[in-house]
Amino acid sequence: MIFLMDLQMMLLDVLYYILRNSLRLVLRPRTKPIDGELVLITGAGGGLGRLFAQEFAKHGAEVVLWDTNAASNGQTAQLVREAGGKAHAYTVDVTCREDVYRHADLVRRDLGRDVTMLVNNAGVVAGERMLDCPDELIERTMRVNCHALFWTVKAFLPQMKAQNHGHVVTIASVLGLFSTACVEDYCASKFAAVGFHESMAHELIAEEINGVKTTLVCPYIVDTGMFEGCKIREEVELILPPLDPQYCVEQAMNAILIDQPLVCIPRLTYLPVMSRALLPWESNVVTYRFMGSDKCMYPFIDSKKRVSIGPAKNE
């Protein structure tokens, strides 16, 4: 009897959340204020990380910038300050847990308070076929895109839980929800990032830590140069071009400010996520072939080879 009552309540809750989220597509929820929040962004030296820093600062947040490249990270900090924001730059290797923990303590000492929002943005890709890829590059991708999430979250989540206030954002990829050929290292690391994030979110809910929010951001290929050369079928690319970085960050910020748990950018990319779950494997294969997605990374890998071969000729 208790089981049937619980089943009924669960089905009602499922229906409620389906209707609520459908309504949110039409009537945008109220955004939360983040002025005064202390936001830490990894990979802040360029690309999406720099744009995130500027967007958070624009909303009144104070930003802490972590990157391995001190010069580019300093430039991000300068851009934020020139726009009237507060920024603090630190040179950190997020793949080294000792470095992460040490700098987490340093940030707390320097600023006198805890980080309240964590944006795990740092990411890399090897850009070589698996059998041609040096083991070191595969390991680097996993350390940056996956392992670093553990170290940063372990460094900052305890304080968020203690205060029942905070927000953890994971910048993953649609290639963490469905895969394509020749980027095994990247897909594996992003699938791991998605799994890590969702498990962490479930843990917070199970512990009834309702003041710490989570947002998983899964963008399509962003035109930052990371996947330069990647090419799908021309006719398909007309409706699914590489994302403008500013647009991507703005869409992600919209989701963060309304505490949206998951956002795929653009919305069109929800379709292959659903097809992967619902259709037979062979159906997805023929769809990939039609779109040119099965070989879309070939020109990207070739361009990476040309870049790596180029400097060697000059030595």
**Catalytic residue numbers?**
186
Q: In terms of residues, how long is the chain?
A: 315
